[in-house]
């Protein structure tokens, strides 16, 4: 069993059975509290991102929203994207920065 969604306002958890349930897959996310390695946001474009420790870089489109917020749109939905965890952005082997995930497709 996996927790797929939380609704803090109503104190409700949704759980699903099976690792591949569609509620566990996320096509996009937003992040805040961003730290950019270069000190400023890169231009919008294609990058790789990690939302889980040791996962392979997932191809996605980066849209910076000022210096402290960004959105990612993944080419393939990602498993278990979790608000409160980090999203780290790469250009090949170069880390561009990262931020704290605030929303995913299920909660957006």
In this predicted structure, what is the pLDDT of residue 25? Answer: 87
Specify whether the CB–CB gap between 96 and 46 falls below 8 A: no
pTM for this prediction: 0.84
Unique residue bearing structure tokens 């104190």: 11
The answer to whether the CB of 96 falls within 8 A of the CB of 21 is: no
For residue 18, tell me if it sits in a domain: no
Let me know if residue 12 belongs to a domain: no
Contact 104, 83 (CB under 8 A): yes
Is residue 7 in a domain?
no
Q: What is the CATH number of the domain that holds 55?
A: 2.40.30.10
pLDDT per 10-residue tile (average), the chain, 108 residues = 79 82 88 96 97 93 95 94 93 96 65
């Amino acid at each position: 069993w996996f927790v797929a969604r939380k609704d803090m306002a109503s104190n409700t958890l949704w759980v699903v059975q099976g690792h591949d349930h569609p509620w566990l897959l996320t096509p996009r996310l937003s992040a805040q509290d961003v730290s950019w390695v270069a000190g400023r946001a890169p231009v919008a474009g294609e990058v790789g991102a990690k939302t889980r420790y040791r996962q392979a870089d997932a191809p996605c489109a980066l849209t910076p929203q000022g210096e402290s917020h960004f959105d990612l749109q993944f080419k393939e939905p990602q498993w278990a994207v979790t608000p409160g965890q980090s999203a780290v952005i790469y250009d090949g082997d170069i880390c561009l920065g990262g931020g704290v995930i605030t929303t995913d497709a299920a909660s957006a």
